[in-house]
Structure formats: structure tokens, C-alpha cells
Chain A
């Protein structure tokens, strides 16, 4: 801190030492090239490379199969054909998979929103014996590979008759996740004590403080963990692969994977299904991103 203050004091003199010398003028053009043209060029090229797969995905989904397998490669279809989308919805039970996926996502988000903030509150705004030890233990579990607990949990859920239901996929959410709890804890720690002091003096219970003061102030952080949980559940593959055997219970991940396993690959249809699988999360992201930024500015926390 002291160092920082010192540096700030030095700053004003910088203008003096920075007097443009003839040598610097010569370098001006070079500098412009280095500071502006080259970075832009790199960003644009990489950006283009990153966008191309999306473009190709959408274009393929709108082509006829002759156009898809055209040699030489044909960028744009003669006209946009939507039949890959209707075919995909007919030949795979798309809406059934969609519903299963949405259900798992919603329940996972609900579970995390119930449990993670409670635990984060304990680890940030309550003082009790053993708190730091428990917190350390929780952080340590973050390095535990899924594979270590996978088999015994499968055996356990199998014995409980829960395999082929969504329970094994959503139940754990109701007990919080280390990463979400950690994120929320960091946020709760940033809320000044003044916000809760008067309520404490009035004898409000901890739960009331949590529910009436901390949670409403934490909407942006709650949005963040809800979004992260949703994304993880939406794209989860290994979990549903293990637990959902009956095609009636499949999620989009498993349904689309099974589709290529069973058929001669129809790329148009596959790309159309992939668009329909991806679009909801992208739309959701843009929607929540706006909410998130609004939330941050409204509450005044950064």
C-alpha cells in the first residue's frame, strides 16, 4: 500500500520526463503500427477463426445434401432450406429430449440457489468454531475427480432404484457445490457490515438477516451461479450417459450422440439439431448477461 502511494506521488513528474524528443517522432509511425494495426489484425483474424465454425454450422443446417457434399466446397446454399430442422424434429424425439434437459437444468438451478447461498453465508458472515477447517475441506474437494465418486454413487443410486430417473443428476445440487459456495462467499464478504449491524442490534435472527438483507443484495452473484449451473447441466454428458438408459429419459446430449451412433450420418440434420441444442444457451447468456450487468450497477457493488 505504502509503495502504491509513493508511485502515485511520482506520477505527475512523468509528464516532464516524457518530453517528446526527435527520436520519438521518428518512432511515431512504427508505434502506431505496433499499438493499433497489428493488435487489431490479430484480434480480427482470431475472431474470424472463432466465428467460422458457427457460420459453417448454420450454413450446413440450411443446405440440401447435394450442397453439403458438393466438391468443390460450396459456401452458400442456392436457397435456405429448413427441411433439416423439420426432419430432425421428426426423426429424433427432439422435444422429449429438450423437456428432459430443461427439467434437469431447472431443478439443478433450484437446488443450487437453495443450498449454496446458505452455506456461503456460514462461511462468510458467521463466526463459529471449526469454520475455517470446514472451508478448507470444501476447497480441497474441488480437486476430487468425478471418476472417484462415480462408481460407488452409481451403485448406491442403483440400489435405491433411482437409476433411469433424473434424481441422481439433480439431488446433489441440493447440497451445494464447492465452486458456487466459494463464489458466493467472496461476494458476501464484500458486503459491508453496516448493512447488517442495525438489524443485529434489533435482535433479528441470522436467518432473517440472511433472507431479508444478504440475499436481496446478492442478486448479481446469484444470477452468476444460476447461469453457471444451468450451463453445466445443459451440456453435461457423462452424468446422463451413466444414469439414463431408457431413451424416453434421454437428454439432448445423449440423444444427439446416440443419433450418430445408429445412423449413416445425416450432417444437415445433425447440424440442425446442434443449432437447436446451442441456440437456447446463447440466447439465455445474452439475456442474463444484461440482467447481470444491471444488477451489478444497481446494487452498487463491484
Chain B
């Protein structure tokens, strides 16, 4: 029966048939890729070379937008703010997730309860969590300052003092690290026990076991979380946009919360400078691309994939 089918179709036709079936199954993504990614990427680059305000046709200006950007103080400020919360937010947050996962992995009682508690905040919609933290950070009636006052520390005016706004965003970020903790925990549970036992026989101490076994074994997850986190961090928008309302300005007090994506949004949809915003989008694209490539390149040195090693 089956032999009959195969005899009737020549190998070449069969190859064509499998190609057509494959493309048919993949077609939703292929069509979506062309409409929602390829077309806008190219158009975005074209817009970045024009002056465009939505209402009249784009007007060609060459690299004028890019030139203007490189002389724009707010562009540099938004880049600085973004890099700031990436370095002082993302990286400590990843380390924190790892530490929490390591402790959770010590087979303590109530592991699943703690896991749920750490995960819950990630379910809170970003606008709701921003509103909640706005209230917690309230300088007069907020819980955080009440606590800081009680133990005799300074009580910053978190959302109105430009020196503290980014710290507020970063602290808020710690609350939503549950997903990373859970991914780290899953990775830790996958590290073969025999590795540790072998190390114990060799007389390794806890630190050596962590440094030489645990860290390399979970390095693929670290790579994944680092890249995803980096891309997310460079697109920080909603928290800043909501928390900024406290100071009645888009970028917060003295533009201290003017992150890259916030400034880009402002240019596009408040000032209707679509060309300028597109140039910003392309620079963002290139920054993310270069950082991703650099991390991947460096990963050959610090990421270990299982198998013969």
C-alpha cells in the first residue's frame, strides 16, 4: 500500500511536495514576517532619512536627522538614563535572581510556596504595579519612607527628586524578577547531582562547587536572560511613563526618567517628528544588534553547553 504511493511520485516531485507543505504550514509566520517586520524595517529606515509629520508626505532630508540627533542633548541624556538602569538595574537583578534560586534550590521546606510568592509580582500588569509603587514611594504617606524613617534613614522624595527616580525604577524592577528566579531554579535542578558528588570526593568546598560546577552549568540560561533582559531594558517605557505623571512631565523631574524609548515615543507621538523618531529607532536597533553580537561572541568563553566537556 505505502509502496504504491511512493512509486507513483518521483523523488523530485516528492521534494517539491514537502517544500510546498512545509511552506504552507509556515505561511502564517512568513506572511506576518513580511508585513509586520520586513516592510516596517525598510520603511523605518526610509522615514529616518525624511522629515515626516504624518499629515504631509515624507520629505527627503538625507542624514539630517542623524546629524541632529548627535547634537541633541536629550538624546544623550536618554541614552545615559537607559544605560544607567541597565548596568545598575538589570545586572544586580540577575544576580539577585540567581541568589534566590540558589537558596530555593537548597531543598528548604515550603519551596513551592516561596516560588509562588516570588512569581506573583510578575503577574501584576505594569500600569497597576507602577501605580502601586507610586503610592509606596509617596514621600509623605508612602510605606517605604515610613519604614526608612522608622530606622532612622533619609527619606528621599523618590519620584520628584531627579537623584532618586532611577533608583525607584530599579527597586521596582527587583519586585518583578520572579520569572528569572524560576528559570534559574529550573536550570539548577537540571545540574546532574553526580557532578557535585564527584567534586566532593575531590574535596571541593561550597564556593569551588558553585564557581566550577553550578555557574558553568547554568551559563546558557544566564546568556538567555542577559540578552532578553538587555533588549527589555533598552525598551523601558511603561513604568517611566506612568511614574513620570507624578511630576507632570513625560521624562520625570529634570528628565531623569527620560529613557530612550520614552524620548522616542515623545518625538513620534507628541511632537509628530516621525523621521527623527525613526532615526532613533534605527540607532536603537543597531545598539541592540551590536550588544547582542558582542555577548554572543564573548559567550564562547563563558557559556558551556552540555555534552563532552
Contacts and interface: CB of A to CB of B under 8 A. Distances in A.
Interface of A: 1-4, 7-8, 10-11, 14, 17, 35-36, 39-40, 42-43, 46-47, 50-54, 56-57, 60, 68-69, 71-73, 114-115, 118-119, 121-123, 126-131, 134, 137-138, 141, 143-156, 158, 172, 174-176, 178, 181, 201, 203, 206, 210, 231, 234-235, 237-238, 241-242, 252-253, 256-257, 260-261, 267, 270-271, 274, 277-278, 281-282, 285
Contact of B127 (A123, A141, A257): A257
Contacts of B170: none
B26 A151 contact: no
Contacts of A119: 25-26, 28-29
B184 interface: no
A14 B21 contact: no
A176 B148 CA distance: 47
B100 A46 contact: yes
Nearest to A46: B100
Nearest to B203: A17
11 contacts: A50-B120, A50-B121, A56-B143, A115-B29, A119-B28, A121-B25, A143-B288, A147-B264, A175-B36, A241-B241, A253-B126
Given A43-B108, A253-B238, 8 more contacts: A7-B195, A39-B108, A175-B36, A176-B32, A235-B126, A260-B134, A260-B245, A261-B245
B64 interface: no
Interface stretch (B73-81, B215-223, B227-235): B227-235
A282 B141 contact: no
A57 B132 CA distance: 7
Interface string B128-145: 100111111010110100
Majority SS at the chain A contact face? helix
A143 B108 contact: no
B127 A235 contact: yes
Interface stretch (B85-93, B161-169, B279-287, B297-305): B279-287
B198 interface: yes
A257 B128 CA distance: 9
A39 B241 CA distance: 37
Nearest to B260: A147
A282 to B, nearest CB: 6
A151 B29 contact: no
Contacts of B108: 36, 39-40, 43
A158 B30 contact: no
Given A128-B23, A274-B132, A181 B117 contact: no
B103 A43 contact: yes
Contacts of B134: 260
B151 interface: no
Contacts of B141: 68-69, 71, 73, 267
Contacts of B18: 126-128
A134 to B, nearest CB: 6
A237 B36 contact: no
Among A121, A149, A252, max chain B CB count under 10 A is at A149
A68 B108 CA distance: 38
Contact of B44 (A40, A43, A148, A176): A148
Given A155-B274, A237-B238, A176 B28 contact: yes
Contact of B32 (A172, A231, A271): A172
Contacts of B41: 144, 148-149
B144 to A, nearest CB: 10
A118 to B, nearest CB: 5
Contact of A60 (B35, B121, B135, B198): B135
A118 B25 contact: yes
Contacts of B152: none
A9 to B, nearest CB: 10
Nearest to A176: B29
A280 to B, nearest CB: 10
Contact of A10 (B28, B201, B242, B245): B201
Contacts of B175: 50, 53
8 nearest A-B pairs in the assembled complex, by CB-CB distance:
A175-B32, A128-B22, A235-B125, A122-B25, A149-B40, A152-B43, A152-B40, A7-B194
